[in-house]
Chain A
Amino acid sequence: MEKTAIFGNKALPYALLLPQLVITLVFFYWPASQAVWQSFLREDAFGLNSDFVGLENYQALFAQPEYYKSMITTLVFSSLVAALSLAIALLFATQADKNLKAAPVFKVMMIWPYAVAPAVAGVLWLFMFHPTLGTLARPMRVLGFNWNPLLDGNHAMALIVMAAVWKQIAYNFLFFLAGLQSIPRSVLEAGAIDGAGPLRRFWTITFPLLSPTTFFLLVVNVVYVFFDTFGIIDAVTGGGPAGSTTTMVYKVYADGRLGGDLGGSAAQSVVLMVIVIALTAIQFRYVERKVQY
């Protein structure tokens, strides 16, 4: 789609583009290319000079058991968060889609957690489930469940999954509700006349018609878990205990900061870039956005 009516100035458009292009080049392309370049270098222990080592950083990376561990952690974390937050959000959205008098109130109550910072959400959940002072940790102990997210990797994982899901429900709820409201009522009525009950109508009519929304949300949720949960992980577990909640993004940060291994950290950055570009490509290729408000 192109405009037919346009201005004929020669220099003005470049001036208009300048601010954004300058900021993009300085703060985006320069660092991104630096990351790619650094991933082929090895710095000496004092950071004084660096040698070109080709693919050595990548070889070292894929020879590390910790790296595979972080991949698996990322996979477990993202599938749990995506599945749980999508399922819970869909349940609430289908209920909010009914003609209830209080529906607008419920809607606001469901979407505001979107505005809570991931790191803050993490701190809230850490406080509730803190082994010594958590409000919910004591009842768990009374029930004989030895809960300690500071020592047990699985407990720590459960905790960050809960915090991440809690924050993501709002977003998914909003898009599911929009998707539900765009489903033509006549189709559902036709199903009802044919004698299909509410549950049957949901699985045979609503759910298939929602699939574009669901798929779009699936991609968005995976990207969210990859990048936006950094604050949750850092605030709640710091990647521990014993690296059991270190996702790939967290590892880039931890290796570069603690290890000072900039070459290895840059190589990890490049691997992540490739993953994100692939996800984005999938999103643009297969997702038809049919969300209307």
Chain B
Amino acid sequence: MVEHRRWNDIVAYLILTLGVLLVVFPVYVALIASTHDAATVVNGNMPMTPGSHTWENYYRAIFVGGSRASREPVGHMLINSFIMAMGIALGKIFISILSAYAVVYFRFPFRMAAFWIIFITLMLPVEVRIYPTYKVIADLKMLDSYAGLILPLIASATGTLLFRQFFMTIPDELLEASRIDGAGPYRFFKDTLLPLSVTTMAALFVIQFIYGWNQYLWPLLITTQDSMQTIVTGIKKMLTTTDELAEWQLAMATAILAMLPPVAVVIFMQRLFVRGLVETEK
């Protein structure tokens, strides 16, 4: 700020503290609920302090599974989510760094056509073409498979644009220098371009990992077996039980577990995360 007034700072601290409370409160409530037993949670008068059932709830959720409707242990769902998120992040980095390399460093017929074919995918999220995509996956016999969970969500241009933009900022002299050293396209890519792209790759990885982890509609549609469920879709299934009361304390423990990995990624890789978010929007 231009002038420095004490009350001005105090107001800022007050507003920001209020904001943080607003942001944290729903998670705090969930965390508390995951430490009580079922009776305490459902009577509508849950205390705002931790209970004594933490170990039991998390153990049951991770290793035994929730209610009768979905007997799948959350531990297994976590593994599925992890495979899906990693597959989407790594797959997208792989296909988009190659295609960006082709578009920037080569001249060939239909170059711009190829670029536009990829570029248009930015405009249509998977939610819009959900049933036709489902049908394609069913025709390819990919229901209930990791390939079916991962591949359709890789088909988008964000990564290609990001790498293209980054390659444009690399001085041409670098390429000339490595050509004088006798490097071909493969050596130039491996020895010069890849090392320079590490930060961009990491930023894209962070964003795509979160995107993949948090997918909901797509896994909901194409997984019919409980053993292929991801954690984000699993929570919902815990709450739609018909034959008994939903076990909210387990659902809340699962919600906390579902939040941990992506939130940890944002907090511990904040710089990369911010960079990835801002760069992919340009």
Q: Do A and B bind each other?
A: yes
Residues of A at the B interface (CB closer than 8 Å) are 1, 3-10, 12-14, 16-17, 19-21, 23-32, 34-35, 38, 88, 91-92, 95-100, 102, 106, 108-121, 123-125, 127-128, 132-135, 137-138, 166, 169-171, 174-175, 178, 185, 188-189, 191-192, 198, 201, 216, 220, 227, 230-231, 234-235, 249, 252-253, 256, 262, 265-266, 269, 272-273, 276-277, 280, 289, 291, 293
Q: Tell me the dominant secondary structure on chain A's binding face.
A: helix
Q: B residues touching A (Cβ–Cβ < 8 Å)?
A: 1-4, 8-9, 11-13, 15-16, 19-20, 22-27, 29-30, 33, 41-46, 48, 94-96, 98-99, 101-108, 111, 114, 117-118, 121-125, 127-133, 135-136, 140, 151-152, 154-156, 160, 168, 172, 175-176, 179, 184-185, 188, 210, 213-217, 220, 232-233, 235-236, 239, 248, 251-252, 255, 258-259, 262-263, 265-267, 270, 273-275, 277-278, 281-282
CB pair A91–B15 under 8 Å, yes or no, is: yes
Contact of A96 with B16 in the complex, beta carbons under 8 Å = yes
What would 30 A/B residue contacts be, using CB atoms closer than 8 Å? A6-B106, A7-B184, A12-B106, A16-B106, A23-B155, A24-B117, A24-B121, A26-B155, A28-B155, A30-B136, A34-B135, A35-B132, A95-B12, A99-B4, A100-B9, A108-B267, A108-B270, A113-B23, A117-B232, A123-B235, A123-B251, A127-B29, A133-B41, A133-B42, A252-B130, A266-B131, A269-B132, A273-B123, A276-B124, A289-B282
- B94's contact among A19, A118, A289, by CB below 8 Å, is which? A19
When the two chains form the complex, which single residue of A10, A216, A273 contacts B124, counting CB atoms closer than 8 Å? Answer: A273
Q: Determine whether the beta carbon of B124 is less than 8 Å from that of A28.
A: yes
B48 contact set on A, CB distance < 8 A: 135
Which chain B positions have C-beta within 8 A of A166?
A: 22-23, 26
* Interface hub of A6, A95, A234 (most chain B Cβ within 10 A): A95
A28 to B95, CA, bound (A): 15
* B225 nearest CB across to chain A (Å): 18
